[in-house]
Structure 1
Amino acid sequence: MQTAIPQPPKWQIYLAFAAIYVIWGSTYLGIRFTNESIPPFLMSGMRFVIAGSCLYLYARIVNKAPAPTWPNIKAAAMVGFLLILIGNGGVAYAELTIPSSIAALLIATSPVWFVLLGWLFFGNARPNSKVISGLVLGLAGMVVLIGPGQLTGHALDMLGLGIIVFSTIGWTVGSLYSSVSKTLAPPLIHTALQMLAGGIFLLLMATLRGEVANFHVEQVSLKSWLAFGYLIVFGSLVGFNAYSWLIRVVPPSQASTYAYVNPLVAVILGWLFGGEAITWQMLLAGAFILPGVILILRAKAKNPKPEVVPEEVT
């Protein structure tokens, strides 16, 4: 049984919110920078194997966590396959052709998929009128964003857009599976195991795609190395652990507000540092998606039934 955490000082809560708002919003641009000279599946695989190994050693040595059982490992492998390989690996691959800001906007629809798939397949509550309104707005925003490029004058890569949508659905299924699995290890160990398992799956995918054989470390740019280190330290270790702590000390619906703050951060950073344009099509899509997500999250906050909260590691 998990021990309750005493209510921490407000400044610690604010700092954790700042971490998931800014850090997770910045990881989309970080992935784009690593993609410039490191293949996407290889980069993501190395990132999560390193982060998962560090977290596992910390949990076992510092926190004295017990060793995982075989059922713990199997459950973490399933979650790692869905969250890390499909969810994160798919986004990294799609960002070869899709701007990081647009990827973040599409991923902001994750609460839409949580409501729909949780209701249809995992026994969650039927959506009420406010949630349905949020679903309609969120899906309308997706249609605007991935539709033909009449508003921008040029079409986006449809395969990349489709991969991001598929990755978001994979992430949702993995998170929902975590919420009903009875064989998960304690939180830190489970997080480390899913990172390790997902990282191994990503490295296998990188090998199958020829990324390992064709990779030349001397060709990696300094910018890609710096972004890679940032993703490991801040995106995986600091950001995810800040979120894991936050959802234990504040209502989950408050913690999940990152779902509509991250895209704003990603769009601004992509414009400032990545040379990405802010188009009317993006603004129009955001005007549908973000209010829709807010409606869903606020409706869930008033629902006494326990929530499933998206825990996306970007």
Structure 2
Amino acid sequence: MSSSTPTHSLPPPPPRHPRVDWRIRFGALALIWGFSFLLIKVATDGFAPFQVTFARLVFGTAVLAVAVAVKGDRLPRGARVWGHLAVAAILLNALPFSLFAYAELTIPSTLASICNATTPLWGMLLSLVALSEDRPTRVRAAGLGIGFIGVLTVLGAWQGFSGLDVTGTAMALLASFSYAVGWIYL
């Protein structure tokens, strides 16, 4: 063979089309996430907040264990990896799950879910501060400002937050902040 003979590789595989339309999957995901706040509220009527958190962690671990077993994957082995996983688990699971469970003792589940919706705003704010590749621009600052104004509007800031439990609301906002810190940590 001469050097001018092209080498042929296999053609790329055809794109995979999901069996279920993305809108249906997105809607299902929204329902699952949305209902989690209602279910936390219901669960805290009969269980202590840390029991609710523990149950969520146990069930989540069981689902992941089954997924790992079905796929035939292996768990990581290094202590350093497990250390990072522990930090991520605290920031993305244990802490926010606990904070939301405690918050919902005094605030409605709808308010908890609205507070959870601030996670992308906290993430953007933190990324502008913590990540060198995310430089502040006027558009980003405007988007962040509009997002927080939207949250304040939904919370009824013009009415002085009347009727809101400040501690419960602060815990729900701190839970959302924890999610943002966890994603940036990852």
Same fold flag (TM > 0.5): yes
Cα displacement string for residues 128-180 of structure 1 (whole angstroms, at most 9, x for unaligned residues): 333222211222234442748547xx4211011111111111110111111xx
Partner of 1:92: 101
TM-score where L is the length of structure 2: 0.81
Residue equivalent to 1:215: none
Number of corresponding residues = 172
Letter in 2 for 1:117: L
Q: Is the 8 A contact 1:28 1:101 kept in 2?
A: yes
Matched, 1:155 2:163: yes
Identity %: 28
The Cα RMSD (Å) is 2.4
Deviation at 1:112, TM superposition (A): 1.1
Give me the TM-score of the superposition, normalised by structure 1.
Answer: 0.50
Q: How does 1:196-207 map to 2 (within 5 A)?
A: none
Superposed CA offset, 1:37-74 (max 9, x none):
11111111122123213322430x21111231122221
Q: Note closer, same or farther for the CA distance 1:124–1:25 as it changes in structure 2 (3 Å cut).
A: farther
C-alpha distance in 1, partners of 2:91/2:182?
5
Are the structure 2 counterparts of residues 66 and 150 from structure 1 closer, same or farther at C-alpha, using a change threshold of 3 Å? closer
Q: 1:20 aligns with which of 12, 15, 29?
A: 29
Letter in 2 for 1:66: R
Counterpart CA distance in 1 for 2:113 and 2:64 is: 26
Deviations 1:211-269 (A, max 9, x none): xxxxxxxxxxxxxxxxxxxxxxxxxxxxxxxxxxxxxxxxxxxxxxxxxxxxxxxxxxx
Q: Which residue of 1 aligns with 2:121?
A: 112
Give the structure 2 partner of residue 64 of structure 1.
72
Q: Does 1:41 align with 2:50?
A: yes
Q: CA deviation at 1:9?
A: 3.2
Matched, 1:138 2:151: no
Instruction: Select 2:177's aligned residue among 157, 169, 180.
Output: 169
**Alignment partner of 1:8 is 2:17:** yes
Matches within 5 A, 1:283-298: none
Per-residue CA deviation, residues 178-208 of structure 1 (Å, 9 max, x unaligned), is 1xxxxxxxxxxxxxxxxxxxxxxxxxxxxxx
Read off the aligned partner of 1:80 and give its amino acid letter: A
Unaligned ranges ≥5, structure 1: 179-314
